[in-house]
Amino acid sequence: MEGEVLVPGCGLGHDVRAISAASPAARVLGLDIAASALEQARRFSVAGRETYQCADLFALPVELTSRFHWVFEHTCFCVIEPRQRCDYVGAITRALRPLGFLLGIFFLNPWDPGEAPDGGGPPFPVTLEELDSLFATGFELVEELNPHASYPGREGREMMRLLRKRNSF
């Protein structure tokens, strides 16, 4: 990844540091609403050109609008309430530059049947059809694949998608 990269809901910043270490030219911003998580993220050794900001993705600060070449999604989408998913897509659309990329690892089936917690999450499952519907207007699907490696217990339950923001959005 090159240019400006946003990692929404970055928590302790593991993905932020991994991207920063793998892409030395990238400027990676970890965004989270939890100041305590960002305090812990900042305690880790710097891996590259990463920074952190405490902010609400759904009330994206104006200085983050149309700034990013990339958004890396890994754990933010699956923990927000399903009713917020359209707002999430809107926030990502606002954050990306025209023709910017969203690389997302989406949690399709977070539990074995009968394991779902009361209320269904988080994490909340999503179907490929719902992803298609949510992202169809503002994004084109470039590539989709099952990750070769997953966290233990997530094998076969995730889908990686590379989406490109349409120029008109």
**What average pLDDT does range 81-92 have in this prediction?**
97
Residue 44 CA: distances (Å) to CA of 16, 23, 72, 92 = 11, 18, 20, 27
d(CA 166, CA 133): 15
d(CA 156, CA 162): 18
Report the chain's mean pLDDT, rounded to a whole number.
92
Q: In whole angstroms, what is the distance from residue 112 CA to residue 68 CA?
A: 36
More confident residue, 69 or 113: 69
Mean pLDDT to the nearest integer, 90-108: 96
Domain spanning 4-165: CATH superfamily = Vaccinia Virus protein VP39 (3.40.50.150)
Q: What is the mean pLDDT of residues 135-151?
A: 91
